[in-house]
Amino acid sequence: MEKKKPWAGRFKKGLHPLVERFTASIEFDKRLFKEDIKGSIAQARMLERAGILTKKERVELERALKEIEKEIETGSLQFGTDTEDIHMAIERRLIEKIGPLGGKLHTGRSRNDQVALDLRLYVKRETLEILHLIRKLQRSLYGVAKDNIDVIMPGYTHLQRAQAVPLAHHLLAYYEMLKRDSQRLKDCLKRVDIMPLGSGALAGTGFDVDRAHGAELLGFSAVTENSMDAVSDRDFVVEFISHCAVVMMHLSRLCEEIVLWTSKEFGFVELDDSFATGSSLMPQKKNPDVAELIRGKTGRVYGNLVAILTVMKALPLTYNRDMQEDKEPLFDTVDTVKGSLSVLAPMLETMKINRETIWEATCGGFLTATDVADYLVLKGVPFREAHHIAGSIVASCIEKGKELTELTLQEWRSFSPLFEEDIKEAVSVEGSVKRRKARGAASIKEVRRQLKRVERELKKDII
Ligand code: ARG
């Protein structure tokens, strides 16, 4: 049987079933039930303070709300689309359970400040979870870096072999990206952490509610200052999704490298069997589907960012029903980022590093050509000229089918009399990496220093 809407007073007819289905958000906003109950309990306490509810009434409301929370948790309370959204579903159940007293809870409140509150509570909770998952992934990166501190690999620019670098240095670059991601999310939290309840539909309320008390009950550090802004602001959703989009961008870059590194062409790493998939046709295949999916899912999150920006564009103040469209992009972003972070960490921890193959790749391809130029610079040759000489040495090696390490001193000298016996050490991969002194450079010594700092950072509180 169709139940009457709480707002049905001025209507003569019920909703057309198509409209009912079209406008309902319960299917997806039911995920806010915990936030909604928490907010309603705070609302009841604010109303008690304002003298709208007696203590006895407030206690009864609170008890019933907690029961409803259990009912939803255990699945004994189900929602049909005629309930419209989670806020109305809970209120309806409340009135069903305790009668007219349930109808007092919405005094001075609108679904507009209610939904803004629920969303802020939700984003706060999920941000914390994401911060924990980022930390976990950082730990995995640290672990793989530390365990392979002695592995030197080719560093790339333009995906062409450029200079030899420690694998740990390469991995710790992702640690830095994730560190900035955490900083951004924490900064965003400052703006999420503001309580909108008490803003009513748009104009606030005439009831004497102590909003600061509500903020304290709900764990917010401040209350919103303008009721119209409070109910129409979704900046915090835009900001949150945009930071998540950057997280995904970083993960997609790491995943792209894993896709490359697991290919036969690179062969640098091998995924654990439990993190790779086979082909239904080609028996030999071992595919990096997880990495590819994370790369692909990055597109979803970018899409969600554009979706929320587009929903909010040019909306007049204050609340408009368009804003109900904020939820699916937000929820999808949370699920995608959490899922990606969760699966990536153990995948990294279990992958096998093929030291031999990496070493072979590092020994070929003139990765120490820059060191030849630097060698001459130390003997007083201007860098431009040194670069030119080094270039012609590389060209001649390519012609002869030789690596730099295979040249005799006589051959070196035919390019410049400044070359001496120590050029051999200078063009070795180990020598090249060891010589780097600048802070943050790709040397084992600098990597050790980074690892120490990272270790300290990983011990710090998340917030
Ligand atoms: N389900 C709505 C939303 O998510 C709740 C607010 C509805 N407010 C209204 N005035 N119709 O945006």
Task: Kindly state if the Cβ of 89 falls inside 6 Å of ligand 1.
Answer: no
Distance CA 402, CA 395 (A): 10
Burial class (CB in 10 A: 0-12, 13-18, 19+), 410: exposed
Angle at 371 between CA 366 and CA 372, to 5 degrees: 80
Task: Read off the pLDDT of each residue in 116-121 and give the average, rounded to a whole number.
Answer: 98
pLDDT surpasses 80 at 1: no
222 phi/psi in degrees, rounded to 5: -155, 170
To the nearest 10°, report the CA torsion of 78, 84, 87, 88: -90
Beta bridge partners of 153: 165
- Given 221, 279, 342, 414, which residue is catalytic? 279
At position 423, the amino acid (one-letter code) is I
Ligand 1 pocket mutation pick from 321, 325, 328 by most atoms within 8 angstroms of CB = 321
Beta bridge partners of 164: 154
At position 98, the amino acid (one-letter code) is I
pLDDT at 3: 66
Q: Which atom of ligand 1 is nearest to the CA of 319?
A: 10
Distance CA 312, CA 102 (A): 33
* Token digits of residue 286: 């071992």
What's the pLDDT band for 364 if we cut at 50, 70, 90? Answer: confident
| Range 362-443 classified under CATH 1.10.8.60 | no
Q: Where are the domains positioned within the chain?
A: 14-107, 112-209+226-354, 362-443
Distance CA 332, CA 63 (A): 32
- Nearest of 415, 363, 350, 427 to residue 386 by alpha carbon: 415
Distance CA 117, CA 173 (A): 37
Task: Kindly state if the Cβ of 215 falls inside 6 Å of ligand 1.
Answer: no
Nearest C-alpha to atom 2 of ligand 1 is from which residue? Answer: 324
| CATH code that applies to domain 112-209+226-354 | 1.20.200.10
Burial class (CB in 10 A: 0-12, 13-18, 19+), 369: buried
Burial class (CB in 10 A: 0-12, 13-18, 19+), 285: exposed
Residues present in the chain in total: 463
pLDDT at 145: 98
DSSP 383-404: HHHHHHHHHHHHHHHHHHT--G
Task: Read off the pLDDT of each residue in 313-341 and give the average, rounded to a whole number.
Answer: 98
* Token digits of residue 58: 């407030």
What is the DSSP code (8-state) at residue 287? B
Distance from Cα 324 to the centre of ligand 1, integer Å: 6
Give the rounded percent of residues in the chain with a pLDDT score beyond 90.
Answer: 92
Packing angle of the helix pair 289-312, 327-350 (nearest 10 deg): 160
pLDDT at 296: 98
Mean pLDDT of the chain: 96
Burial class (CB in 10 A: 0-12, 13-18, 19+), 4: exposed
Task: Read off the pLDDT of each residue in 143-147 and give the average, rounded to a whole number.
Answer: 98
pLDDT at 282: 83
Nearest C-alpha to atom 7 of ligand 1 is from which residue? Answer: 111
- Given 16, 158, 274, 280, which residue is catalytic? 158
CATH number for domain 14-107, candidates 3.40.50.300, 2.120.10.30, 1.10.645.10, 1.10.275.10: 1.10.275.10
Task: Kindly state if the Cβ of 324 falls inside 6 Å of ligand 1.
Answer: yes
Beta bridge partners of 194: 222
pLDDT per position as a tens digit, 216-274? 999 999 999 999 999 999 999 999 999 999 999 999 999 999 999 999 999 999 999 99
pLDDT per position as a tens digit, 387-437? 999 999 999 999 999 999 999 999 999 999 999 999 999 999 999 999 998
Any catalytic annotation for residue 170? no
Matching fold, domains 14-107 and 112-209+226-354: no
C-beta separation of 244 from 130 below 8 A: yes
**Contacts of 306 by beta carbon, 8 Å cutoff, 6+ apart:** none
Q: What is the CA radius of gyration of the chain?
A: 31
pLDDT at 2: 52
**Contacts of 452 by beta carbon, 8 Å cutoff, 6+ apart:** none
CB neighbourhood size of 8 (10 A): 12
Distance CA 300, CA 311 (A): 16
* Token digits of residue 52: 């709208």
